[in-house]
Amino acid sequence: MVHRHGRSGVGLVVLLLCALGGGTLAVPMTRAEEPAIELNSADVLRQLLEQQVGKRVKVKLLSGQDLDGKVAKVGTQAVALTELSGMEFFDATVRLDQVAAVIVRRGK
């Protein structure tokens, strides 16, 4: 396509690229760097739970029971969970030596 100024369809190409690309630039989402956890540490679960204060986690106990709630406070021996799923009127205090796993939802 040749216009009267001799340029070939540059405007059309730009328009087509904008339409195909949505007209926006893709900006990668970066999340804030979370402090690294030393996996060989004896208190790795305590460190992880401390990073999750105020957030929802699922705690799997050695007994096999799951507790899903918001981390309220973490001590040297126990963690306090509030707003338990399915038991909204209850809170829990769990000994850290009874925690088999902490399951955390990844950032969006």
List the structure tokens of 82: 């509030």
Give 32-54 pLDDT, tens digit per residue: 556 677 888 888 999 999 999 99
- CATH assignment of 44-104, among 3.30.2230.10, 2.30.30.100, 3.40.50.720, 3.40.50.300: 2.30.30.100
The residue-averaged pLDDT of 12-40 equals 55
Confidence category of residue 104, pLDDT binned at 50, 70, 90: very high
Give the pLDDT mean for 84-98.
94
Using alpha carbons, list the distances in angstroms from residue 42 to 15, 24, 104.
59, 48, 19
Judged by average pLDDT, the poorest of 36-40, 51-55, 62-66, 68-72 is 36-40
